[in-house]
Structure 1
Amino acid sequence: MTEARTIPIASVAPRRDPAVPALERVRAYHERTKHRLDGYAKGPETIDWSSPPDPFRHFEGSFRLQLALSADALTVNFDELGSVAPAAPTLAAIGALLELSFALAAWKEAGPDRWSLRCAPSSGNLHPTETYVIARGIDGLADGVWHYLPREHALEHRAHYLPAHEGAPLLQIGLTSIHWREAWKYGERAFRYCQLDMGHALGTLRYAAACLGWSARLNESISSDAIAARIGTDRADDFKGVEHEDAEGLVEIGFGSYSTDVREPVEPAFIEWVGSATRVDRWPMYKWPVIDDVARATQRPPLPRPAESDAGIARRLPAPAGLHAPTLIRNRRSAQQFDRKHTMRADQLWPMLDALVSPASAPLDVWAPHARVHPVLFVHRVDGLAPGVYALPRSTLGHALLRMGLDQNFAWTRVEGAPEHLPLYRLNDVAVQFIARRLSCGQAIAGDCCVAWAFVAEFDDALADSPWRYRDLHWEAGLLGQALYLEAEAAGLRGTGIGCFFDDSVHEALGITGTRLQTVYHFSLGLPLTDARIRSEAPYAHRDTLAPSPAQPTQERSDS
């Protein structure tokens, strides 16, 4: 049933005093946007389902370059990631990188409804993340800034760099968020979901780069303002009257033997910007000023480059062998319903846990070793594991914080039969299906799955004097979720990220008091049930029917 439009309503937010420290504003936002048993975080009172935000922004007036669909030509298996010979940095290879990270994965139809899915998951399938390519010295691709178009699997040229780059090829991927795409449905909590999506985006990009034998590393020293300037999202005239894009992160791609290093490129002497951004929603019904406030409060300042350090342990338990990595990546889906009778095997769980504690392997090596987010498992049906609550502290400090911060009656017993290097502890052996479902806003997927997860963050310590790490905590949780998504697919199972949970009720169930620890994301994993009413179509069967834009004459298209 379509809901009628209403007169636009502005949400009421506390008066913002610019003198209030950023950290206080971040803490206030987090507390304000918690879901509680007696009420959810502020969101829209009505939603016009017939008119969602446009998931495909483009820049009018920009030249488009269509990319080849080349990922199928890659012969790498999922268990081989990390040992792949690097591909040459060509336009076709960059097309494969984008095809396996931010491209469409399928179209779905049910009755009169039709929607697309992408390789990177998103809360509500709303996709706030936009992708930019900064290229210098790449064979077949003009130097400059390009915006990626997932519907067309094409690039549009936003900025021309002159003079031509000399030296080793350079490639950077800039990521931004359009907060309104999430806020349209989720209201004030949407900023959290945009950050979780960013974590999934980092994971998806890292897996895609690994398929090509490339590295992908988040630049953690560059400021938010510098990213915006580099990709052009600070250009007010190019975004006049349309939704703002919030600069999130810049990922540097390394080509192995084809590049010497990933140092900052010398800025070009001349830059010409082209194109203006399209509107995402012409009739927004609400405003959520608290999102703009927390976005400002979490802007990253310029930071010194982190010193080189030990990356930690690499993965010891490989994923199942013989699974074509590009196919696995594109087949990733969020389960909508689980078989509540299915029991997964413990030997399916161990590689998943190993992926979460291996900072020197993809996808965790997308940034310097971080271990500020720790999984708590609600085990329902795993052969060899008693139902109950388990913890997987991902660092020595995390272990100490969890032991101090969780219920003091928890047993903290090492799990017999688990690989020795996995820090998995049984906390209690109480059946928790009903509890897990209730804590995740009553969603059946948290109770019918084999394992439900709560990602608990070192909240106070991470944010102390660094309010921008509020984003990082959610990125880390989303990154762990992306690892679980693909590990589940490899095991013949499926996962689903859960952003809706009763924050403080989770804390109460785990014995958490104060704010030193906070849950930031939930996840579920099990055997999916397929809805036969939903039909699937290939992601790019429609490309031949797309009319070229005025800025893209047919004779100038390229498939190379």
Structure 2
Amino acid sequence: MLPESSDMQEGGQAAADARDLVKAYHHRTKHRFERYAAGPETLDWDEQPAAFRHFEGAQRILLPLADASLPGALGAALSRPFGSVALPHPPVKVDLASIGAFLHLTLGITAWKRFGPDRWAVRANPSSGNLHPAEAYLISAGVAGLADGVYHYDPEHHMLECRARYIGQSGLAPGLHIALASVMWREAWKYGERAFRYCQLDTGHAMGALRYAAAALGWQLVAHPEIDQDVLGTALGLDRLQDFPARRIQETELEETEILMCLGSADFPAQPPEARALLAASSGALWMGQASAIDLHPMYRWPVIGEIARLTRDAMPQARRQIGLPLPHPGACSGEGATFASLALTRRSAQHFDPASQMSRQDFLHIMGRLMPTDFAPWDVLPAIWDMDLVVFVHRVETLGSGVYLLSRGEPANGLRRRIETHHVLSPVPGLPPGLHLARIEALEAPALQRLARSLHCHQDIAAHAHFALGMLCPFEDALGASPAAYRELHRQAGLLGQVLYLEAEALGLRGTGIGCYFDDAVHELLGLEDSAWQSMYHFTVGKPRVDARIETLAAYAERAEYATAPLPAGEADNLAGMATLSAQGDPS
């Protein structure tokens, strides 16, 4: 068990001790048949955390939406087929129009849903429980139409909020940088101690969404985990506690710094800013805005979440392993021709699957091929690639018998397969494309497999009614041996895998759903894994959705015009007294 918070705060923890504590957290937060991970005993849905954060008093800039009908290079980029999005493309100019499209397709609202008196937003990036802990910030220097400074993205109104305006010469090289942070309380409110895991999965989903959109626009997007999180937090203003007031508990309002990504285009390279320059620009900036409240009446506290966040904050050196696999040919499949923009704006998480439908073998193998890592988008946004193999519960795929399968995404002789072969005789699947290593672990009749999948996934029908469900297993001990911070990286890689599955399913006219609730060790026991060398990070299902016709779909930004304001000028420095007065008065009308 993890020690109490006061014990963990005593200095001098060696790296080995930190790894042990991270392992203890992981095992402590597993779901088990006899008990679920510690979480709230009741939920007050009328008092759930705010889904959107705003900074009152910050200057707001209304962003254009993604529109494939636009003339010119931006419209052409938004019309590119999804199957070719990872191929090299001429870069679109970085300006407010392309930034608006980029953020709309990745983190923006794509629709509102309404059922009776309830109304909720659907976004381009998925999230555990639709709680959306991820917040996004831009650091701008020398970007056309955008003054140098720090901006918070407001997805509710599709705006940028200027948190800090750099005064004079910032010292930063020209560039546009995207940073992600997590409001961990949004997940903890519902999921308790396991929430840290879900925040990291959501970060991976968001990184994948951002990389896909960047690729469609011809941009690079490179993550830089070597940027110290304390430095990044200061640069984003996340350590300005006076800007994040709390009525009861401070941690409900704070944001956890996650990762900095640098955009590369014809306008500037994807180079990280220097830490000294970031701190100097931050200290000399005019800061604006106060964060809106996330939860005024929290009922529980989960101190272990803050402790595991602290233990995994070490900056990781960029040590990306070159994969060397070629970009898979788009191939012929039922979704050929769908554009990335259309898929990003219509992606949904399935709630129910049709248990009678069947998937073609061709489409199944197409998705399996797309899950193999390459040196291209979206995989190249990951700072490091770990051998994450997939255990696949195949229910209804043409010519492929129902049962449990293993997809080896790395070298089969060195990965999970070698461990499983000590307990199971694996049967290779014949007729596979080159480089696709799929083998059957166990054949099961359909009813037995449905019972098994349902049972392992917290008794959820969606895992039994899908075309297939899968679990993502990673070399847990090896990764933590490199750094405790790898715990975040493993979840993010799993989240990115989920993002690939979401979009590939949509392209085939299917739908996916991430599953965070599964019985961790029961999955390991099924495979004969007796230690923690390999651990399950995330599960996912793909199938033919059953859509509830009672739920209305409403336009995403039908009323946003009333929030429009003039953008900050990017030319001469503003009158500081006037800017300070504007900050004190609140939002301009």
Q: How does 1:75-474 map to 2 (within 5 A)?
A: 75-81=79-85, 82-164=87-169, 169-241=174-246, 242=250, 243-255=253-265, 257-264=266-273, 266-267=277-278, 270-301=284-315, 303-306=316-319, 309=322, 312-318=325-331, 320-368=335-383, 370-396=385-411, 399-406=413-420, 408-431=422-445, 432-474=449-491
Deviation at 1:326, TM superposition (A): 0.8
| 3-state secondary structure, aligned to 2:46 | coil
CA contact (8 A) 1:58 1:277 kept: yes
Richer in helix (by share) = 2
Aligned equivalents of 2:355 and 2:323: distance in 1?
42
Aligned equivalents of 1:476 and 1:392: distance in 2?
16
| 3-state secondary structure, aligned to 2:433 | coil
Deviation at 1:414, TM superposition (A): 2.3
Letter of the 2:225 counterpart:
E
| 3-state secondary structure, aligned to 1:195 | helix
Aligned residue in 2 for 1:5:
none
| 3-state secondary structure, aligned to 1:456 | strand
Choose the corresponding residue for 1:479, options 478, 492, 496: 496
Say how many residue pairs are matched: 541
TM-score, structure 1 normalization: 0.92
Aligned equivalents of 1:260 and 1:230: distance in 2?
20
Aligned residue in 1 for 2:66:
70
Deviation at 1:75, TM superposition (A): 2.0
Letter of the 2:361 counterpart:
A
CA contact (8 A) 1:315 1:354 kept: yes
Aligned equivalents of 1:392 and 1:455: distance in 2?
10
Letter of the 2:495 counterpart:
G
CA contact (8 A) 1:137 1:164 kept: no
Deviation at 1:401, TM superposition (A): 3.2
Aligned equivalents of 2:388 and 2:322: distance in 1?
20
CA contact (8 A) 1:162 1:271 kept: yes
Runs in 1 of length 4+ with deviation above 6 angstroms?
165-168
CA contact (8 A) 2:56 2:290 kept: yes
CA contact (8 A) 1:104 1:117 kept: yes
Letter of the 1:54 counterpart:
A
Q: How large is the RMSD of aligned CA atoms in angstroms?
A: 2.2
Instruction: Confirm or deny that 1:520 pairs with 2:537.
Output: yes
Choose the corresponding residue for 1:36, options 32, 35, 48: 32
Name the CA shift for 1:120/1:399 in 2 (closer, same or farther; >3 Å).
farther
Deviation at 1:309, TM superposition (A): 4.8
CA contact (8 A) 1:376 1:455 kept: yes
Instruction: Confirm or deny that 1:24 pairs with 2:29.
Output: no
Deviation at 1:314, TM superposition (A): 1.9
CA contact (8 A) 2:470 2:541 kept: yes
1:524-545 CA-to-partner distances (Å, cap 9, x unmatched) read 0010001011110111112135
Aligned residue in 2 for 1:7:
none
| 3-state secondary structure, aligned to 1:162 | coil
Aligned equivalents of 1:287 and 1:466: distance in 2?
28
Deviation at 1:306, TM superposition (A): 3.8
1:325-366 CA-to-partner distances (Å, cap 9, x unmatched) read 211111111100001011101111122122211322221111
Name the CA shift for 1:307/1:56 in 2 (closer, same or farther; >3 Å).
closer
Aligned equivalents of 1:59 and 1:509: distance in 2?
49
| 3-state secondary structure, aligned to 2:285 | strand
Worse overlay, 314-323 or 86-95: 314-323
CA contact (8 A) 1:389 1:427 kept: yes
CA contact (8 A) 2:29 2:38 kept: yes
Deviation at 1:451, TM superposition (A): 0.4
Aligned equivalents of 1:166 and 1:228: distance in 2?
18
CA contact (8 A) 2:318 2:383 kept: no
CA contact (8 A) 2:141 2:172 kept: no
Deviation at 1:261, TM superposition (A): 4.7
Deviation at 1:310, TM superposition (A): 6.0
1:379-438 CA-to-partner distances (Å, cap 9, x unmatched) read 011102111111112112x65231332262423232112212212122221232211111
CA contact (8 A) 2:263 2:269 kept: no
Aligned equivalents of 1:13 and 1:189: distance in 2?
17
Aligned equivalents of 2:312 and 2:193: distance in 1?
15
1:199-248 CA-to-partner distances (Å, cap 9, x unmatched) read 10111111111121111111132122122122121222222435111001
Deviation at 1:260, TM superposition (A): 4.1
CA contact (8 A) 2:38 2:192 kept: yes
CA contact (8 A) 1:477 1:520 kept: yes
Deviation at 1:12, TM superposition (A): 11
Gaps of 5+ in 1: 1-10, 555-560
CA contact (8 A) 1:148 1:155 kept: yes
Aligned equivalents of 1:533 and 1:47: distance in 2?
25
Aligned residue in 2 for 1:3:
none
| 3-state secondary structure, aligned to 1:362 | coil
Aligned residue in 1 for 2:574:
none
Aligned equivalents of 1:543 and 1:140: distance in 2?
21
Letter of the 2:107 counterpart:
F
Choose the corresponding residue for 2:56, options 57, 60, 68: 60
Name the CA shift for 1:37/1:310 in 2 (closer, same or farther; >3 Å).
closer
| 3-state secondary structure, aligned to 1:131 | strand
Letter of the 1:366 counterpart:
V
Worse overlay, 339-348 or 240-249: 240-249
Letter of the 1:286 counterpart:
Y
